Amino acid sequence: MLRNNVTGQHFVGALAWSGNWLLNLYSDPVRGGEATAWFSFGPSSPGPMRIIAPGETVATPAAHLGCVDGDLDAAIQAYHDHVRRSVAPVVPPERRNLVTWNHWSYTNDELSEESLRHEVTVAAEMGAEMFVVDAGWYADRGTNWHQLVGDWDEGNRIACGLAGIFDYARSLGLKCGLWVDIERIGTESRIAREHPEWLTTLYGDVPMTAVNTAIPEAGAYIESKLHEIIERYRLDLFRLDRNVHVWENAQNARDGYLENVTFRHYEFVHAMYRRLRERYPHIVMENCAGGGGRHDLGMMGIFDYTQSTDWPRAPRHVRIFNGMSMCLPPERIMTISLAGQDGHERADLDFLLRSLLFGHVYISGICPPGAPPNPTQRARVREAIDLYKSFIRPMLPTSRLYHHTPELPGLEPSGWAVWELVSEDRSQAAVGLFRLAGPAAGEYLLRLRGLQEGRDYRVTFGNTGSTVTLSGAQLMHEGLTIRLGKPLSSELLILTS
């Protein structure tokens, strides 16, 4: 995004490309009231990137460009509208932003029937709608799951088998999903021993674990395996991970040249996932990609939503969502929190739950197997999920998101993060206010931006449960002073009219 400080215009650009890319931007100083800029952007890797055969046609990645004569909020919302209308797949209401529960939390890759049944039971009690089994399901107990991908045969970790876990989940009303890192072959897998030539090589002789999809048999293998897994377990969701790059210095010999692998790889995988969506139109396609690694418009034109990070420790995950929600509509962004991947280490339960509510809600555990239930904790989790399903989720697909704090510098941001999510007709809104790490002002003057001045709104304060009715004009021009007395605390405002 580029802002013209003379005219106030915003220029927005995005590349539908999952490989390496390069943006060149040149700007002249202001001269005589005019500002001038030049730019170029596109795929980038050591050449030749793509050898084109005689008579062959190759499409370059789509570039999405826009000019908005408005402020930052207007530019972001125009871009969101474009992504919703022209890029992202249409998601039917019955599978739209289903509250998802991932088993990882306390179990990680050492899955067992006991631990998975515990997670399924808690997920159902909390109101989740989708249960996802993550990595390790295909490997035997005590083995290295990371290097065993590729065979996709079920291991001995789960006594009743995955089918037994999924049957139990479905009996409690949950849909079922499964993690697959389909573009990778681990060095300890059977398929790596049988077909070492299917592995991408770096500098011509260093084998990597990325599948060399330029080899037709290798590409056909991973695509057929993906279909087999979906049909074997009757999946409602396919969770794609990507724990390896194809590497910009990997090459294949072709027509007397050493062609870089990247361009051809993404030609194949984008086409493969498009075919998958056409073949299984009922499934949710969840993009994990190493935790936010591939959320470009090439992938997001195929997948339902994407994970924002694998390390959702507060306040880092708030900063990540703050930035990603400028690039993607909020309903396309999934933030994982609570016990999984250090998400529980900082901030209180309300902070963690509220940070999930403005996108796609994804939870990873609240208590280990055998732990006595905490009624207060469970009530708060259930309350947040109910609020999301009844109030926030219905307005998400056409919502307007206002970034009151667009710049949150630093890996561990300080200050405040404030998001205002408003329904399309401006009749209701949710506002999240997060005081981040470190010293900051204890008060924040909130002037809302997306309401109607002539309409009255009932404002409910999440921390106290108290309510007040104010006009849109008061809320937008006079504002509300919100006080949070300590770091890593939060407030949630619910507005109805």
Q: Interior CA angle at 20 toward 18 and 25, to 5°?
A: 110
Instruction: Identify whether residues 170 and 147 lie together within a single domain.
Output: yes
Q: What is the pLDDT along the chain (497 residues), one digit of tens a residue?
A: 999 888 899 999 999 999 989 999 988 776 666 778 888 999 998 889 999 999 999 999 999 999 999 999 999 999 999 999 999 999 999 999 999 999 998 888 889 999 999 999 999 999 999 999 999 999 898 898 889 999 999 989 999 999 999 999 999 999 999 999 999 999 999 999 999 999 998 877 788 899 999 999 999 999 999 999 999 999 999 999 988 877 677 889 999 998 999 999 999 999 999 999 999 999 999 999 888 889 999 999 999 999 999 888 899 999 999 999 999 999 999 998 888 777 788 899 999 999 999 999 999 989 999 889 899 999 999 999 999 999 999 999 999 999 999 999 888 899 999 999 999 999 999 999 999 999 999 999 999 999 999 999 999 999 999 999 999 999 999 999 999 999 999 999 999 99
CATH of the domain at 217: 3.20.20.70
Instruction: Identify whether residues 292 and 278 lie together within a single domain.
Output: yes
- The structure tokens 């049944």 sit at 117
Question: The tokens of 80 are what?
Answer: 């969101």
Instruction: Identify whether residues 453 and 365 lie together within a single domain.
Output: no
Instruction: Identify whether residues 147 and 270 lie together within a single domain.
Output: yes
On whether the CB atoms of residues 11 and 2 are closer than 8 A, the answer is: yes
Instruction: Identify whether residues 340 and 373 lie together within a single domain.
Output: yes
Instruction: Identify whether residues 279 and 339 lie together within a single domain.
Output: yes
Instruction: Identify whether residues 306 and 231 lie together within a single domain.
Output: yes
**Rounded Cα–Cα distance for residues 142 and 442 (Å):** 49
- Say what the pLDDT of residue 146 is: 87
Full residue range of the structural domain in which residue 322 is found: 93-395
Instruction: Identify whether residues 188 and 165 lie together within a single domain.
Output: yes
Instruction: Identify whether residues 144 and 228 lie together within a single domain.
Output: yes
On whether the CB atoms of residues 423 and 492 are closer than 8 A, the answer is: no
The domain boundary residue, chosen from 57, 86, 115: 86
If one counts the domains in the chain, the total is: 3
Instruction: Identify whether residues 379 and 409 lie together within a single domain.
Output: no
Question: The tokens of 113 are what?
Answer: 């029937």
The domain boundary residue, chosen from 71, 86, 101: 86
End-to-end Cα separation, the chain, in angstroms: 34
On whether the CB atoms of residues 269 and 320 are closer than 8 A, the answer is: no
- Say what the pLDDT of residue 205 is: 79
What radius of gyration do the chain's Cα atoms show? 24
Instruction: Identify whether residues 390 and 468 lie together within a single domain.
Output: no
The domain boundary residue, chosen from 86, 108, 136: 86
Instruction: Identify whether residues 338 and 421 lie together within a single domain.
Output: no
Question: The tokens of 12 are what?
Answer: 């927005």
- The structure tokens 């239930």 sit at 373
Question: The tokens of 275 are what?
Answer: 């075919």
CATH of the domain at 458: 2.60.40.1180
The reported pTM is 0.95
